[in-house]
Structure 1
Amino acid sequence: MKRNLRSTASRGGRAAIRHGACAVLLAMAAPAWAADRTVTLKAQPEAKADIVVMPQIDAPVDEAERRINTALKRLDGNVRKAAKQCTLGDGKPGDWGRSVETSMRGPSFVSFVIHDDSFCGGAHPNSSTMSIVYDLTTGAPVDWTKLLPPSLTGTVALAEGMDGTKMVTLASKRLHRLYLERYRPKTGDSKQDDADDKECREAVTETFSGDPPAMMAWLDAKEGGLAVQFDLAHVVQACADTVVIPTAILRREGAKPVLVDALDAAHAASR
């Protein structure tokens, strides 16, 4: 009887150990599994008229997704504060508008593009584009130096958006060259269009004859690539187009598989 009791206890102990080991492995795998999914984003009530609030990940499944939701709420706080401080010369409230585009919802990354337009006095309105990409595994903004080769990241810096938010920029000659190769290709449709495009081609090329521009980057699931844009002087602001560099080029340039594979999967799901 004692031997049987010992044998039963031993089997129970081994089962408990196996159960515990499985639980640990599942816990370790959970973030990776969550990052592989496409997240659902839920729209929030507007902060005020014309200011769209950042969407939230609906029913977050792990700490990384909860961290992203917290960070998105901080972005809302920034624009609320900036819009409140936006006044005209006579002290009357100015105008502030914001739109938000979710350009990728997984796997691995969630990407946002934020467009702000404001008039807080002065000679003309202001407009700005900001981008931020979050890693669904960690919940932190992506580190582009771990996803793109040095030739494409160049000098990594922080730029300040209209609402004071800090956003990462990449100043790379190679990235700028890839941008220019795809910027407003000649179509021959109209002499006037060609003339306008020629002026813009000169603006995006010659404005930065020395150092490359500080470029915003984000992930575009619909187009299947890395979207790039940078600010221009107000007089040629209309020339500040977004250009998408496809994954085939990113692979050739040495981008990490985790980035290009996620983009390909998101692009396939968007079709």
Structure 2
Amino acid sequence: MNWFRRLTSAAGAGLCLAFLAGPTWGADRTVQMAPQPDLKPDLAAMPQIAAPADDAERRINAALKRLDGNVRKAAKSCQADGGASSSWTRTIHTPMRGPRFLSVAISDDMFCGGAHPSTGLMAIVYDLTTGAPVDWTTLLPASLTGKVALAEGLDGTKMVTLASKRLLALYLERYRPKDSKAKREGDDNACREVVQETAQGDPPAMMAWPDAKAGGLAVQFDLPHYAQACADTVVIPNAVLRQEGAQPVLTDAIEAAHAAP
């Protein structure tokens, strides 16, 4: 029996090492995203990882396909409510495509009847080593994750949000700086005021995702309907993330992606 235990233990250890090495190899690369035909005019379909390297990437592709099903169902319900005047448009960006992380930012604009259209942003970040959405509590310190919860997008898709006073403070420090000459929607002073009002009391539920081009962690949260034009994305620089205690697996990946051509 001892030889059998030793044999099975050695085999198990070998399988474990192979499992760990396989996904890590795939996660070390920058994945190429293949656009898919629109679900309907102006309603973009989720892209797919081209030539997936392993099971983790295939799981992500399957998850992205399921998101298409969510918006199809929601758009159909929207049309039933709003009739001929209804509309649903979607644009999709992948701000980080490896190494290690794939972030998907989904912008929806819908009108299902009523006085005004609604806009919404969803951000989902996948771990390329597992194919699952990331666990932010393993990547960021508790001071930046705060209360982790699930929120629903306009189409009912669940996404992870972080309600953290420290993350909010870092956001506010960089929101519409007065010396910036960037042209944005909404009056800057009015937007600063409504954002500060929203920030009073408990911190709002914030979406976060790595952004390779910007070199940091992008953060955004919802504002009241009348102030949706003020809902800017703010990027927390990678150097600040390190100072705040973010795990090297995240900051190193962002740095590598930012430096890539």
- TM-score, normalising length: structure 2: 0.90
Count how many residue pairs are aligned between Structure 1 and Structure 2. Answer: 250
Q: Does 1:141 align with 2:133?
A: yes
Q: Deviations over 1:9-50 (max 9, x none)?
A: xxxxxxxxxxxx989855541211111111111010110000
Which residue of the partner structure matches residue 252 of structure 1? 243
Task: State percent identity of aligned pairs.
Answer: 68
Which residue of the partner structure matches residue 17 of structure 1? none
Which residue of the partner structure matches residue 4 of structure 2? none
8 Å CA contact 1:88, 1:121 repeated in 2: no
Q: Deviations over 1:194-240 (max 9, x none)?
A: x9212111111122310011101111000000000011112111111
SS in 1 for 2:84: coil
The one of 253, 264, 268 aligned to 2:255: 264
Partners of 1:107 and 1:98 lie apart in 2 by 26
Which residue of the partner structure matches residue 58 of structure 1? 50
Gaps of 5+ in 2: 1-12
- TM-score, normalising length: structure 1: 0.87
Which residue of the partner structure matches residue 115 of structure 2? 123
The one of 37, 52, 73 aligned to 1:81: 73
| Correspondences of 1:1-271 after superposition (within 5 Å) | 28-87=20-79, 91-92=83-84, 94-187=86-179, 196-270=187-261
1:143 and 1:90, CA in 2 relative to 1: closer, same or farther beyond 3 A?
A: closer
1:121 and 1:197, CA in 2 relative to 1: closer, same or farther beyond 3 A?
A: same
Which residue of the partner structure matches residue 10 of structure 1? none
SS in 2 for 1:216: strand
| Cα distance, 1:71 vs structure 2 | 0.2
Gaps of 5+ in 1: 1-20
Which residue identity is paired with 2:199? F
SS in 1 for 2:177: coil
Q: Deviations over 1:91-131 (max 9, x none)?
A: 43610000000100000000010000000001100000000
